[in-house]
Structure 1
């Protein structure tokens, strides 16, 4: 007996029992639909409880984690729907062979469902690939979330074009041409998505930001590590453990600071200044030099430098009854040399990178003496400790050279000054 005969079996049986032909036809249709539903449910149950479970057991035996992520993204479940779908495609036309209008609707809905199912399968594969690549060290800093979203957008666009082409009975090419005419409206509606798409591509291609980079973005109050890059936003975990979300296109449109270069370099820059009171700067007398020679770091320098200066003054018959005549050493110049020597002796300072102690232009707050060097340890807490250790020492050393730090007067200073004058 053929399948077609089986489908008509109940109809013939009911007619033989004296039932009206139309009623027998519809009752036969209902029974066939129930049977088809039970077959589909049974096949789906078998696939879900045997084939998919067998796949899970197989994945547990393998060393790779890719198949584990296939299960997490529901790839076996989506793929398992192909068999019930095939059964429906084969039996449904036989059941509704006498209802051509229903068949037309069925074929349209069937094709749409197939397109959606294909999209779901591709989506599960993309998610599986994304999650698997996240476990690979070489992809830890890549914006995989953004890549996967871009691919999914293109897949959905293609899928929707096929769906609308089926609904309006047009070719995909014809629908794409008609869609081009409405491009202005589409651009307006999806402006933010398109901006995010373009920005994601530029961020990835130009390697502007990676996951794990430390960035500072004052406009959005972000200062921390990039934890996620997707099509629309970049997520930053700030140092206080709060999160800031930044529009992806802002990374292209606005200026921000990326500390990756510092993290990849051999050292981290220390750049700070101490402000010296200008009226504390003076020429050094022989008595001052004798006192400063007790400082071991600069004793050899003072001897060599003073010998050179004395020879110059003598050879040019300089009148040294006034210190200003000829060449002289100043307490600020000697302190600058001391700071330079101290940094070169400091074990935490990177000696192969820039190391400069320099004057900057005088300001109303005094003369800035800038320290520019690099610490070997780039970890934030250790970097701050090293910086503090250097400047603690230099600030404490300044009075030994007859120099004074500039400090704006406080209320207590003014009261003390007024009290002394009144007394």
Structure 2
């Protein structure tokens, strides 16, 4: 082709040296024009038809492949293939043109395969099993292997050496590669353990205070786990740390259907006393403890009568206390609360007295695990308990404030 153009130019009385340059330039322009035309045909016609077909079929995989532009990337092979085919036009540069073109084709295939793997991950993520068995880490391993092989092939083409020679050299440099891909290797091992042991899945609420992670898992990849904290900040934690260090996974709480309440109120110890008749009559009017109170009074009377207790002094006889009665009330209140899970453990207990008073701990589970609903239920329960304590002649402990001292000074 170049010789034909050159001869035509020489026949038109153009200098031979100039004819050589012009013929090469004309051949290059001709190839560029053909390449552009073919590229436009592929992109404007073939890709458009393919995208339209994918939309009509409404298949998930076809739409996702189109969205990830897999076909658009593969379409770039066509114009490069034309350049590769026209390489013999330039005999002096044929080998290098073909090498560079073929290397570029391999690079395009690698990019397309990368997009294809992303599409596979996106398709897989549409299924429920993807939350428990994410495959992104494994796909990233495939990407690393494919890129390694592709780069080796490209280098072997450029230097005109067998790829096996390069691979044997890579074998000798294994120690260096292990050092370079240390985090990826650790991440791969961690991903396998996490998946096989079902330790973590997408959507789990995890806590790793050391690394500032406290929120839902958004993504599990080869090297990192992405967590969105409750303040909407996003933090990434190296995957291998989930194996080498401890973390809290709240999935068990979510699956159980109940979220734990474990909080104490502190009773002023000086307000604890035996119940007198006036108090007992008043307590009998409280619905939640009326029946229990009557039964306990019978039990106390039976005990005192059996042991012939001298009831002239309160210390001698078995007596009911306001703190014990209050504890029974709270137990029955929780049993009748519509938003407390009645199928899970409930405890109202005394803890070790402290300088802040006697802790009465409420241990129960709500029926709602959503954070907002849980906090609302918990607040509602303690609003009531704090407000009802004075009805049992009990005082909630509170350290003295400036108001207390001001009131004391005013009274004096």
Q: TM-score range by the shorter chain?
A: 0.7 to 0.9
Aligned mates of 2:81, 2:154 — CA distance in 1: 19
Q: Which residue of 2 aligns with 1:265?
A: 256
Q: 1:96 aligns with which of 90, 93, 107?
A: 90
Q: Which residue of 1 aligns with 2:82?
A: 87
What displacement does 1:341 show? 0.5
Range moving further from structure 2, 386-395 or 129-138:
129-138
The answer to whether the aligner puts 1:338 opposite 2:329 as a matched pair is yes
Aligned mates of 1:147, 1:417 — CA distance in 2: 71
Q: Which residue of 2 aligns with 1:412?
A: 403
What displacement does 1:338 show? 0.9
What displacement does 1:228 show? 3.4
Label 1:206 to 1:160 Cα distance change in 2 as closer, same or farther (>3 A).
farther
Aligned mates of 1:321, 1:175 — CA distance in 2: 102
Aligned mates of 1:197, 1:105 — CA distance in 2: 39
What displacement does 1:16 show? 5.5
SS of aligned partner of 1:237: strand
The answer to whether the aligner puts 1:385 opposite 2:380 as a matched pair is no
SS of aligned partner of 1:298: helix
Q: Which residue of 2 aligns with 1:47?
A: 42
Q: Which residue of 2 aligns with 1:359?
A: 350
Label 1:289 to 1:173 Cα distance change in 2 as closer, same or farther (>3 A).
farther
Maintained 8 Å contact 1:141/1:212: no
Structure 2 residue ranges without an equivalent (≥5): none
Deviations 1:211-259 (A, max 9, x none): 3233333334343333334444443333333433444444344443332
Q: 1:60 aligns with which of 55, 60, 71?
A: 55
Q: Which residue of 2 aligns with 1:123?
A: 114
Aligned mates of 1:171, 1:130 — CA distance in 2: 34
Range moving further from structure 2, 34-43 or 370-379:
34-43
Maintained 8 Å contact 1:349/1:374: yes
Label 1:417 to 1:254 Cα distance change in 2 as closer, same or farther (>3 A).
farther
Aligned mates of 1:174, 1:367 — CA distance in 2: 79
Range moving further from structure 2, 337-346 or 263-272:
263-272
| Alignment size in residue pairs | 412
Aligned mates of 2:138, 2:357 — CA distance in 1: 53
Aligned mates of 1:174, 1:265 — CA distance in 2: 58
Aligned mates of 1:194, 1:414 — CA distance in 2: 65
Deviations 1:107-145 (A, max 9, x none): 432332232122122112112223333444543676565
What displacement does 1:195 show? 4.4
Q: 2:26 aligns with which of 22, 31, 40?
A: 31
SS of aligned partner of 1:106: helix
Structure 1 residue ranges without an equivalent (≥5): 1-5
Q: Which residues of 2 match residues 291-306 of structure 1 at below 5 A?
A: 291-306=282-297
Maintained 8 Å contact 1:29/1:95: no
Range moving further from structure 2, 197-206 or 367-376:
197-206
Maintained 8 Å contact 2:132/2:195: no
Q: Which residues of 2 match residues 147-186 of structure 1 at below 5 A?
A: 147-186=138-177
SS of aligned partner of 2:311: coil
Aligned mates of 1:237, 1:57 — CA distance in 2: 37
Range moving further from structure 2, 237-246 or 138-147:
138-147
Label 1:171 to 1:331 Cα distance change in 2 as closer, same or farther (>3 A).
farther
SS of aligned partner of 1:368: strand
Maintained 8 Å contact 1:215/1:222: yes
Maintained 8 Å contact 2:2/2:90: no
